[in-house]
């Protein structure tokens, strides 16, 4: 609804069913022109455009699949007609249609979901903040919420490769979770694995949580977390509900996949970040354009770890990097990190006293 107020003020404040209908009737449209992205490697400057598929995430999940895909393909064709050689699918536009596969099949230009770079930045963000909070990776229990998804599955594989103590895999489908756990067990036979369809149970012991569901948001409640844990919320809309900001000063939430683009990027579109900051899924398209790699880079559910590593190296080469940490529309300050560290330490001491 905040996006509606920003971009469609005529319907802001109207009742939800009416807004939903207006969105269904509104065709996909060109939203803004992007300028000023300049490679730090060779000075190449690129331009691009944003297109809007005017639907709420819950509509993308619940409306007729062909209708939704049609709107997404319409937006991609607008881009193609304006000369785009590659189109990136942001947020939920790659959740329908087999992680971008159906859209890519309908297009002549290249299509990417941006999910490989999203994974790279989520892992980098989560592990960096964990170290700042003195969480030892080899002793850590890590939970991936949405572990059977395109992003979650490869996040789980990468984090397992870091040699964590225990990995909890959480999603809705028990069968998909068991398949995911079987695959991980074959890759990492010594790793302790747990699967759960019960979110609070799955995350209550976790030191690090990477949350990347397509649930529509607000599924992680304040009471679920262990004191001192890190939650990297990759989902858009966010999985962590906003009350956590006030009710749990002893846990640290960061948004996953928030990136600063090199040069003087002007997106000319307010998606809630400061100037020059964008989502990793958007950045992946920019990086591939700077490399003139007009190919279906991250498409389909099975992402490859090699591609995550490759896009991460290309990002560094051109000067894309994590934007600093943000949560609940604000930067995460050093003071905030200190506060979590102190409260977590106090909580650990209190628990020891109670056990004695």
Would you tell me which residues interact with ligand NAP (CB under 6 A)? Answer: 91-92, 94-95, 99, 114-115, 118, 146-152, 171-173, 176, 212-215, 219, 234-236, 256-257, 279-281
* Residue 92 phi, psi dihedral angles, 5° rounding: -75, -10
What CA–CA distance (Å, rounded) separates 201 from 58? 25
Nearer to ligand NAP, 28 or 213 (CB): 213
Supply the minimum distance, in Å, between the C-beta of residue 87 and ligand NAP. Answer: 14
Comparing every residue's Cβ against ligand NAP, the nearest one is 149
What CA–CA distance (Å, rounded) separates 185 from 179? 10
Nearer to ligand NAP, 118 or 141 (CB): 118
Supply the minimum distance, in Å, between the C-beta of residue 121 and ligand NAP. Answer: 7
Supply the minimum distance, in Å, between the C-beta of residue 101 and ligand NAP. Answer: 11
Do the Cβ atoms of 136 and 271 come closer than 8 Å? no
Nearer to ligand NAP, 148 or 289 (CB): 148
Do the Cβ atoms of 347 and 228 come closer than 8 Å? yes
Q: Which residues contact 23 (CB under 8 A, 6 or more apart)?
A: 8, 54, 55, 56, 59
Supply the minimum distance, in Å, between the C-beta of residue 55 and ligand NAP. Answer: 13
Supply the minimum distance, in Å, between the C-beta of residue 119 and ligand NAP. Answer: 9
Supply the minimum distance, in Å, between the C-beta of residue 329 and ligand NAP. Answer: 14
Nearer to ligand NAP, 48 or 257 (CB): 257
Do the Cβ atoms of 288 and 138 come closer than 8 Å? no
Supply the minimum distance, in Å, between the C-beta of residue 282 and ligand NAP. Answer: 7
What CA–CA distance (Å, rounded) separates 150 from 228? 28
H or E segment and range at residue 295: none
What CA–CA distance (Å, rounded) separates 236 from 224? 20
Nearer to ligand NAP, 320 or 344 (CB): 320
Q: Which residues contact 92 (CB under 8 A, 6 or more apart)?
A: 57, 60, 61, 214, 236
What CA–CA distance (Å, rounded) separates 294 from 279? 20
Residue 11: how many CB atoms within 10 A of its CB?
17
Nearer to ligand NAP, 92 or 228 (CB): 92
Nearer to ligand NAP, 64 or 108 (CB): 64
């Amino acid at each position: 609804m905040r996006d509606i107020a920003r971009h469609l003020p005529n319907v802001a404040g109207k009742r939800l069913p009416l807004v939903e209908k207006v969105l269904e009737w509104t065709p996909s449209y060109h939203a803004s022109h992007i300028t000023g992205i300049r490679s730090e490697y060779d000075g190449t400057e690129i331009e691009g455009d944003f297109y809007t598929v005017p639907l709420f995430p819950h509509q993308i999940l619940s409306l007729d699949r062909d209708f939704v895909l049609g709107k997404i393909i319409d937006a991609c064709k607008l881009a193609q007609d304006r000369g785009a050689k590659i189109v990136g699918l942001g947020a939920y536009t790659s959740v329908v249609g087999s992680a971008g596969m159906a859209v890519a099949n309908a297009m002549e230009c290249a299509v990417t979901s941006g999910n490989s770079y999203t994974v790279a930045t989520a892992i980098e963000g989560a592990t960096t903040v964990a170290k700042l909070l003195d969480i030892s990776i080899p002793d850590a229990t890590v939970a991936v919420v949405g572990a059977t998804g395109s992003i979650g599955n490869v996040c789980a594989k990468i984090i397992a490769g870091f040699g964590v103590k225990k990995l909890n895999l959480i999603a809705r489908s028990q069968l998909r979770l068991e398949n995911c756990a079987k695959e991980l067990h074959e890759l990492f036979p010594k790793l302790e694995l747990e699967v759960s369809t019960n979110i609070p149970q799955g995350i209550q012991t976790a030191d690090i949580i990477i949350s990347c569901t397509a649930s529509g948001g607000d599924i992680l409640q304040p009471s679920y977390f262990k004191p001192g844990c890190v939650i990297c919320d990759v989902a858009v809309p966010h999985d962590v509900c906003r009350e956590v900001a006030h009710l749990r000063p002893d846990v640290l939430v960061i948004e996953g996949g928030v990136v600063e683009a090199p040069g003087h990027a002007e997106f000319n579109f307010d998606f809630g970040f400061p100037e020059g900051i964008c989502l990793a899924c958007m950045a992946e398209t920019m990086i591939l354009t700077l490399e003139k790699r007009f190919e279906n880079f991250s498409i389909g559910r099975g992402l490859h770890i090699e591609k995550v590593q490759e896009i991460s190296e290309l990002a560094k080469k051109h000067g894309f990097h994590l934007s600093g940490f943000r949560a609940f529309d604000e930067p995460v300050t050093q003071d905030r990190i200190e506060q979590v560290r102190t409260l977590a330490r106090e909580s650990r001491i209190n628990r020891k006293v109670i056990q004695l």
